[in-house]
């Protein structure tokens, strides 16, 4: 069984890996240095096989147990990419790259899976095969989809796949999960409003696009309250409002609105897209303008499979105790491209406590190294429990 005390002993080593990754963040698929560090360590650990170039800069390591007679193969996934943000933590290991930082803890995820890989390669106390997956471009690039599209699941015969993400405010050593939808589908939309520009002192000679677009922004908020089942989780947010004019006395010809739509069911996703198109077009028509919608569907819902979720709960409780595991946590309306892996294979995604830290995607965020022993132990205990070694 996984020994959390062993990972406590390894903590300085794994922390050093994590802080090196934190100092050298890379964005999206440009994870060449990170992937190189991971590959070098996996080779040093003596894993049985390393394959690079999956999902462009993704890679996997294959670790076989003392026996593989069970024929079981499970995948454990960590993401590697950072965010295009300026770090303000002031810590000694702060990002050395201007405008890039690990503001979501992927440096910690990578380090914890490396720690688990080292342990598993040393002990091999399981009957089956563990595939450790290091994925680029979770932050908007869809690296998970590209690794799946490159045939990862079939190449390595992965039967189940598991993911983990740190969660600020949840105490270190605690876990949270739920079966079914855990994280939202992440869509984005652009609305192009066109009217008739002119002089701001003579608005009666124009079709005021700023007024029309403002009405659209307000009307979009009625969708959640009046067009969607109130028991469905939907968030529609307008995040950008841009005109083509910077002058104080010009009513612009065009306005560009950007936003995001988050949903947890296919029905709500379809209804929301249709409603956004309808509200934008008809609101504009009422004022004599036009509105054109471009709607792009992003990551699908991160949907945990019931059996694998129940198993993940058992593992987490065996590790941390009954009271330290929430098995029906509320869904989160953020997105996660681990969803593509869960569409390809049964599995479960779990949150692990990062403690009282700044929130994800905040310039003061830093991964809490105190959670490393818990995260590593979860991975190892999951593998050893799912594929117990023969007596």
- Do 253 and 113 have their domain in common? no
Which pLDDT band, with edges at 50, 70 and 90, does 245 fall under?
Answer: confident
- Do 345 and 229 have their domain in common? no
- Do 36 and 147 have their domain in common? yes
Interval 48-58 mean pLDDT: 98
- Do 33 and 176 have their domain in common? yes
Which pLDDT band, with edges at 50, 70 and 90, does 303 fall under?
Answer: very high
pLDDT of 324: 97
Residue 166 predicted with pLDDT over 50 = yes
Q: 163-198 burial by CB neighbour count: b if 16+ within 10 A, else e?
A: bbbbbbebebbbbbbbbebbbbbbbebebbbbbebb
Share of the chain above pLDDT 90, in %: 96
The CA distances from residue 84 to 18, 23, 101, 109, 338, in Å, are 19, 14, 7, 18, 20
- Do 140 and 125 have their domain in common? yes
Helices within 196-323 (DSSP H only): 209-226, 266-286, 306-320
- Do 30 and 148 have their domain in common? yes
CB 134 within 8 A of CB 110: yes
d(CA 250, CA 242): 14
- Do 248 and 173 have their domain in common? no
pLDDT of 202: 97
d(CA 356, CA 247): 45
d(CA 124, CA 117): 10
Listed residues 296, 319, 346: the one ending a domain: 296
Domain of 355? 4-181+301-386
pLDDT digits (tens, 9 = 90+) for 182-230: 999 999 999 999 999 999 999 999 999 999 999 999 999 999 989 999 9
pTM to 2 decimals? 0.95
Interval 165-186 mean pLDDT: 98
- Do 274 and 191 have their domain in common? yes
Which pLDDT band, with edges at 50, 70 and 90, does 390 fall under?
Answer: confident
Which pLDDT band, with edges at 50, 70 and 90, does 3 fall under?
Answer: low
The CA angle 329-327-384, to the nearest 5 degrees, is 130
Element of type H or E holding 203: none
Interval 369-390 mean pLDDT: 96
Kindly report the CATH number assigned to the domain that includes residue 138.
3.40.630.10
- Do 141 and 26 have their domain in common? yes
In a domain, 270, yes or no: yes
pLDDT digits (tens, 9 = 90+) for 29-42: 999 999 999 999 99
Which pLDDT band, with edges at 50, 70 and 90, does 1 fall under?
Answer: very low
In a domain, 200, yes or no: yes
- Do 133 and 25 have their domain in common? yes
Listed residues 245, 278, 296: the one ending a domain: 296
In a domain, 128, yes or no: yes
In a domain, 321, yes or no: yes
pLDDT of 301: 98
In a domain, 391, yes or no: no
Average pLDDT over the chain reads 97
- Do 202 and 259 have their domain in common? yes
Which pLDDT band, with edges at 50, 70 and 90, does 130 fall under?
Answer: very high
Q: Partners of 163 in the beta sheet? A: 77, 349
Listed residues 296, 313, 341: the one ending a domain: 296
Q: How many domains does the chain have?
A: 2
CB 208 within 8 A of CB 251: yes
Read off the tokens for 337.
């491209």
Residue 279 predicted with pLDDT over 80 = yes
In a domain, 113, yes or no: yes
- Do 52 and 160 have their domain in common? yes
Q: How would you classify residue 170: left for phi > 0, otherwise alpha for psi between -120 and 50, otherwise beta?
A: beta
Residues 6+ apart with CB under 8 A from 223: 234, 236, 272, 275, 276, 279
Kindly report the CATH number assigned to the domain that includes residue 239.
3.30.70.360
């Amino acid at each position: 069984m996984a020994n959390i005390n062993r990972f406590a002993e390894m903590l300085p080593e794994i922390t050093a890996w994590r802080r090196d990754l934190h100092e050298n963040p890379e964005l999206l698929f440009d994870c060449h240095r990170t992937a190189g560090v991971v590959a070098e360590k996996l080779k040093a650990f003596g894993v049985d096989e390393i394959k690079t170039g999956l999902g462009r800069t993704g890679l996997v390591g294959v670790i076989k147990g003392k026996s593989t007679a069970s024929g079981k193969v499970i995948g454990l996934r960590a993401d590697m990419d950072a965010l295009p943000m300026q770090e303000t933590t002031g810590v000694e290991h702060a990002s050395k790259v201007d405008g890039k930082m690990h503001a979501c803890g992927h440096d910690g995820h990578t380090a914890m899976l490396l720690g688990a890989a080292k342990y598993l390669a040393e002990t091999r106390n399981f009957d089956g095969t563990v595939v450790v997956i290091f994925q680029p471009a979770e932050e908007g690039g869809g690296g998970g989809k590209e690794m799946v599209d490159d045939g990862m699941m079939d190449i390595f015969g992965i039967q189940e796949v598991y993911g983990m993400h740190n969660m600020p405010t949840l105490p270190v050593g605690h876990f949270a999960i739920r079966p079914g939808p855990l994280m939202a589908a992440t869509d984005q939309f652009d609305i192009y409003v066109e009217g008739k520009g002119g002089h701001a002192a003579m608005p009666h000679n124009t079709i005021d696009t700023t007024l029309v677009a403002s009405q659209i922004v307000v009307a979009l908020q009625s969708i959640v309250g009046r067009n969607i089942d109130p028991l469905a989780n939907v968030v529609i947010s307008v995040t950008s409002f841009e005109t083509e004019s910077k002058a104080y006395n010009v009513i612009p010809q065009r306005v560009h609105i950007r936003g995001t739509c988050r949903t947890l069911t296919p029905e709500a996703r379809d209804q929301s897209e249709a409603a956004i198109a309808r509200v934008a077009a008809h609101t504009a028509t009422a004022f004599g303008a036009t509105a054109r919608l471009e709607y792009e569907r992003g990551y699908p819902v991160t949907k945990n499979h019931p059996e694998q979720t129940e198993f993940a709960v058992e593992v987490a409780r065996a590790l941390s105790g009954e009271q330290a595991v929430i098995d029906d946590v509320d869904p989160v309306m953020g997105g996660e491209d681990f969803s593509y892996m869960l569409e390809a294979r049964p599995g479960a995604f779990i949150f692990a406590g990062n403690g009282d830290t700044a929130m994800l995607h905040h310039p003061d965020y830093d991964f809490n190294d105190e959670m490393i022993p818990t995260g590593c132990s979860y991975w190892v205990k999951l593998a050893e429990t799912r594929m117990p070694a023969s007596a």
